[in-house]
């Protein structure tokens, strides 16, 4: 866009000599200030206006361009062209100033959103003990940075506890709800030794917040989520599903859903449906990988309207380390939807290092800039569609 004014002038100069006298192509230079206003500040637009008027004068009075004499310069239609160019230049200068202000405002908003993201979706540690972790967040809106999808990984005395969730609705209320849930989880994860008690405590916090908000849709302010716990001393993983898409277990030769058909109710709906939360336990050995994701993944559609086949894709790719897996998933979602995502998407993966590989991973980690548990780092990837 910055080179568009130059290309526009070059085009006029190339066309002008080959046109008949009665077709003064130089008149199209009237639009040069507006073309310049697309990507340049007001000062450059003003300079382009003066340049356009001068070039019109030059072309009107140069016999070699179209066989016209110098006397043509001050004919009525030429004078009208100069006046129109000046008026359009003034308009282009105003538009450029307005565009510049809007761009600065947008930059400020994006900066604030990035700071809010660091607080809400802080980077998960890339390694906790013998677990390798990775996450990503993909925004459906090109300028958005945060939304209602959330994830977290917390090392505790009871094991590594993972969370992924999806707040019903959009907008500021969804962001506030996600922040409240993450705060409750980060606090309760250290205090509650039992995973079910942890979820019930988070549910109480969400219900209390819904009561505080008031209104007629208290029961509809719910969050679907999956809570996972990986104990350090046992090769198992505990899963508590609150109405969320089931997590996936990835191991060599197998990709399957961890779903026994009895998920609990979404958070803030347990009091309405009366179903208790239940914890399911699965084997989780060295080399196994857990993938948690929001419904933005499985509900991604191609131009024909077909849903994204997550299980088929994972089975065709085979096992891969967490960074490569999520990067492949991220790129595949964008390609599958033709960059037309309809919902925010988040994913969190945890890979249990094989026996004897923990020391090697620790040595490799020392040579990288990735954070480990308890350290800070860059925010998770956030990209627009």
What does the alpha-carbon distance between residue 39 and residue 126 come to, in Å, rounded to a whole number? Answer: 40
Q: Are residues 156 and 75 in the same domain?
A: no
List pLDDT tens digits, range 298-325.
999 998 999 999 999 999 998 899 999 9
Write out the two tokens for 149: 């999808």
Predicted local confidence at residue 354, as pLDDT: 85
3-state secondary structure 246-291: CCEEEECCEEEECCCCCCECCECCHHHHCCCCCCEEEECCCCCEEE
CA dihedral 71, 74, 78, 82 (to 10 degrees): 140
Predicted local confidence at residue 218, as pLDDT: 52
Helix (H/G/I), strand (E/B), else coil: 41: coil
pTM: 0.69
Using the structure block, give the residue that is written with the tokens 């130059």.
Answer: 6
What does the alpha-carbon distance between residue 249 and residue 311 come to, in Å, rounded to a whole number? Answer: 10
Q: Are residues 50 and 182 in the same domain?
A: no
What does the alpha-carbon distance between residue 19 and residue 22 come to, in Å, rounded to a whole number? Answer: 8
Predicted local confidence at residue 207, as pLDDT: 84
Q: Are residues 149 and 27 in the same domain?
A: no
Q: Which residue, 3, 28, 2, 1, is CA-closest to 14?
A: 28
User: How many domains does the structure of the chain reveal?
Assistant: 2
Q: Are residues 161 and 291 in the same domain?
A: yes
Q: Are residues 263 and 306 in the same domain?
A: yes
* Residues 3-41 as b or e (16 or more Cβ within 10 Å = b): eebeebbeebeeebeeeeeeebbbbbbbbbbbbbbeebe
Q: Are residues 247 and 283 in the same domain?
A: yes
Q: Which residue, 114, 181, 120, is CA-closest to 145?
A: 114
- 112, 133, 164 - which closes a domain: 112
Rg, Å, the chain Cα set: 30
Neighbours of 330 (CB within 10 A): 17
Predicted local confidence at residue 29, as pLDDT: 80
- 112, 139, 167 - which closes a domain: 112
Instruction: From residue 3, give the alpha-carbon distance in Å to each of 8, 10, 42, 249, 347.
Output: 9, 11, 16, 51, 40
What does the alpha-carbon distance between residue 257 and residue 246 come to, in Å, rounded to a whole number? Answer: 6
What is the residue range of 51's domain? Answer: 4-112
What CATH number corresponds to the domain at position 128? 3.60.40.10
Q: Are residues 47 and 66 in the same domain?
A: yes
CB 166 within 8 A of CB 149: yes
Where does residue 95 fall: left (phi above 0), alpha (psi -120 to 50 degrees), or beta otherwise?
alpha
Q: Which residue, 182, 141, 186, is CA-closest to 165?
A: 182
Residues 6+ apart with CB under 8 A from 13: none
Predicted local confidence at residue 339, as pLDDT: 84
What does the alpha-carbon distance between residue 136 and residue 296 come to, in Å, rounded to a whole number? Answer: 12
CB 263 within 8 A of CB 256: no
Task: Identify the segments of the chain with pLDDT beneath 70.
Answer: 19-26, 59-78, 113-119, 140-147, 170-171, 213-221, 270-275, 356-385
What does the alpha-carbon distance between residue 276 and residue 264 come to, in Å, rounded to a whole number? Answer: 7
Q: Are residues 180 and 304 in the same domain?
A: yes
Q: Are residues 85 and 62 in the same domain?
A: yes
Neighbours of 119 (CB within 10 A): 10
DSSP H/E element including 19: none
Q: Are residues 127 and 108 in the same domain?
A: no
Predicted local confidence at residue 86, as pLDDT: 85
Predicted local confidence at residue 3, as pLDDT: 86
CA of residue 131 relative to chain centroid, distance: 26
Q: Are residues 107 and 138 in the same domain?
A: no
What does the alpha-carbon distance between residue 82 and residue 9 come to, in Å, rounded to a whole number? Answer: 16
Write out the two tokens for 163: 């969370």
CB 129 within 8 A of CB 385: no
Predicted local confidence at residue 367, as pLDDT: 53
List pLDDT tens digits, range 11-64.
877 877 776 655 566 677 888 888 888 888 889 988 888 888 887 777 666 554
Helix (H/G/I), strand (E/B), else coil: 305: coil
Predicted local confidence at residue 21, as pLDDT: 57
CB 242 within 8 A of CB 224: yes
Q: Are residues 152 and 259 in the same domain?
A: yes
- 112, 147, 163 - which closes a domain: 112
What does the alpha-carbon distance between residue 269 and residue 221 come to, in Å, rounded to a whole number? Answer: 8
């Amino acid at each position: 866009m910055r080179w568009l004014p130059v290309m526009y002038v070059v085009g006029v100069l190339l066309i002008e000599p080959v046109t008949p006298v009665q077709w003064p192509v130089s008149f199209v230079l009237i639009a040069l200030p507006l073309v310049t206003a697309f990507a340049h500040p007001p000062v450059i637009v003003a300079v382009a206006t003066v340049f356009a008027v001068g070039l019109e004068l030059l072309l009107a009075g140069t016999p070699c361009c179209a066989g016209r004499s110098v006397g043509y310069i001050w004919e009525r239609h030429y004078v009208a062209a100069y006046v129109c160019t000046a008026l359009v230049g003034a308009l282009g200068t105003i538009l450029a100033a307005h565009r510049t202000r809007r761009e600065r405002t947008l930059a400020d908003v994006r900066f604030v959103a990035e700071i809010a993201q660091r607080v809400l979706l802080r980077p998960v540690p890339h390694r906790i003990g013998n677990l390798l972790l990775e996450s990503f967040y993909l925004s459906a809106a090109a300028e958005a940075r945060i939304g209602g999808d959330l994830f977290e990984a917390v090392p505790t005395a009871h094991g590594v506890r993972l969370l992924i969730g999806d707040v019903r609705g959009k907008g500021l209320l969804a962001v506030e709800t996600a922040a409240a849930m993450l705060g409750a989880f980060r606090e309760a994860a250290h205090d509650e030794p039992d995973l079910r008690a942890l979820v019930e405590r988070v549910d109480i916090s969400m219900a209390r917040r819904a009561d505080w908000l008031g209104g007629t849709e208290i029961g509809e302010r719910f969050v679907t989520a999956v809570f996972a716990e990986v104990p350090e001393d046992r090769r198992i993983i505990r899963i508590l599903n609150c109405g969320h898409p089931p997590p996936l277990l990835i191991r060599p030769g197998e990709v399957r859903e961890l779903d026994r058909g009895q998920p609990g109710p979404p958070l803030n709906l347990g009091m309405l449906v009366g179903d208790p939360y239940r914890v399911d336990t699965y084997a989780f050995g060295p080399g196994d990988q857990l993938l948690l994701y929001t419904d933005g993944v499985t509900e991604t559609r191609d131009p024909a309207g077909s849903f994204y086949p997550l299980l088929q894709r994972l089975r065709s790719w085979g096992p891969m380390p967490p960074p490569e897996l999520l990067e492949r998933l991220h790129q595949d979602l964008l390609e599958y939807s033709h960059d037309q995502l309809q919902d925010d998407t988040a994913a969190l993966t945890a890979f249990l290092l094989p026996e004897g590989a923990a020391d090697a991973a620790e040595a490799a980690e020392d040579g990288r800039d990735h954070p480990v548990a308890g350290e800070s780092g860059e925010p998770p990837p956030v990209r627009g569609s």
